[in-house]
Amino acid sequence: MSLLRRIAHYRQLYRLTPVRYSSNAKEETIDHTKQNDSETHFGFQTVKEDEKWKKVHKVFEEVAASYDLMNDAMSMGVHRIWKDIFMERLSPVGNGIRLLDMAGGTGDISFRYMKYLQKLPADDRKPSHVTVCDINQNMLDVGQKRWEKLNLPTAGDTIEWVCADAEKLPFDDSSFSVYTIAFGIRNCTHIDRVLAEAYRVLKPGGRFMCLEFSHVSNEYLKWVYDQYSFQVIPPMGQILANQWQPYQYLVESIRKFPPQQEFKLMIENAGFKCVQYENLTFGVVAIHSGFKL
């Protein structure tokens, strides 16, 4: 059975109907800067705040082994270009840098940084250190195995793996030069606490950088994007990874994440300066950047 036929089969099995949007429809405005005392969202579901992290943890336990495969399939490989651009915007100098890669489980950002370091002249370069941090040990296990297979010469640069919550980091104040988080912050229960912790652990002059799915503003492109997200990605997850619900959650979580400008304000409210963002692929993803000054 071809991939398209199998997608159609699973759509019928789960009784999916096309997602319809009107350009004249009024969208609900959600203030993401305020946190409900007891409830939050898990995709389109409303759940208790203390339940969300458990549900998210379960999602990534289930998808860890197939995470990289599904990233390639869902984005048709474009996620690799987004991450390359993200690293270019970081423009790391690579001289004694301490990088915290939060939600970095499988290592995509950290490995790019380590490869970048090895291209720099060795003369007078101080070794850098990367901390890959994730709340899910399964994701870290996948990343560590990938790192071992990569067998990259590091010329004194070091990497470590830490299982920890982005809202309660086990690191001292002013510990890192750079904090990166790619496709992870939307899964956190309290985004404001994640940003506060990022600010706390960064050194003065340190940089915060976030790569995350965002919002397409063009109505026609948005319609195409929504159809692909809801009608193709969950069936694809079922076919390639035998997982429907985790990928249903992932596309729903993107819609619940704050729009670009609103997220920019949240970063500024956490204390960061010179905050800006850049849309990639018409706003499908965005890079947000700020400094602790």
Judge whether 134 is annotated as a binding position: yes
**DSSP secondary structure string, 26-38?**
PPPP--TTS--SS
**DSSP secondary structure string, the chain?**
--HHHHHHHHHHHTT-------TTPPPPP--TTS--SSEEEETTEEEEHHHHHHHHHHHHHHHGGGHHHHHHHHHTTHHHHHHHHHHHHH----SS-EEEEET-TT-HHHHHHHHHHHTS--TTPPP-EEEEEES-HHHHHHHHHHHHHH----TT-EEEEEE-BTTB--S-TT-EEEEEEES-GGGSS-HHHHHHHHHHHEEEEEEEEEEEE----SHHHHHHHHHHHHHTHHHHHHHHHS-SHHHHHHHHHHHHSPPHHHHHHHHHHTT-EEEEEEEEGGGTEEEEEEE--
CA neighbor of 10 nearest in space, from 239, 213, 204: 239
Judge whether 165 is annotated as a binding position: yes
Name the binding residues.
106, 134, 165-166
Binding-site positions for S-adenosyl-L-methionine read 106, 134, 165-166
